[in-house]
Structure 1
Amino acid sequence: MTGKNAFPAELLQLQERLHHAHAEHRAYLDGLPWSVEPMTGWVRGERFSHRGDVPDGPGWSDEQKETVDRMWAEIRELSIAVAEHPHWKSVPIDVLVATRMQLKRQARPVEAAEAA
């Protein structure tokens, strides 16, 4: 490790995997019905809706729920691994937050960084 903003390769890889896991989770959720459980929809005038009319929601299948739970578990594990990495013990407390943000920016995939 060299330079003030250099991170251990293992930590960079963990953060990259975390970014990837978040992106996969968001993409998977985008393909699911709007409601986890079956729910009756409504027309715009019945309830507030920024989307206009909302169709009935069939809910998620057990397999979809299990997939979302598995994805969340991976995100939690990776988040903990990044947060508890030994590297953070060497970072002065007064720059810890800024250094963690630098890691997120440095490890962010190019396509995600361009979309932000």
Structure 2
Amino acid sequence: MIAVLAACAAPAAAGAASFEFAPAPQNDLNRVYRVDRSTGEVGACQFQLKEGGVGVTICFLAGEGAGPQPAGEYGLMPSRHEREGGIFRVNLRTGEMSICYVFDDKVVCTPQAK
């Protein structure tokens, strides 16, 4: 009986969402941020038109402050500021927050604070 329960629980754990996605609040920017829910690492991607053809997806890797953080439960929270290109990274366990944005082709984040 325990083996059956363990076998049923394994696929559910493997399918657990490890990323969260949210758009930048800026209403004329087609950028979407992603955060690894357990490590807090942040990245972003956006669409870019390509002259005379199909567009491309441009992605920005984690730079300063956007890499893995102390283990936690992280999420993304866009502000309601329509000209803001960045997004809040929040640690739902500690209440700490930082602002993440694209700078020099990398996602960077401010130090976490309460």
Q: What band does the TM-score fall into relative to the shorter chain?
A: under 0.3
TM-score (norm 2): 0.24
Greater share of strand residues, 1 or 2?
2
Task: Pick the structure with greater CA Rg.
Answer: 1
TM-score (norm 1): 0.24
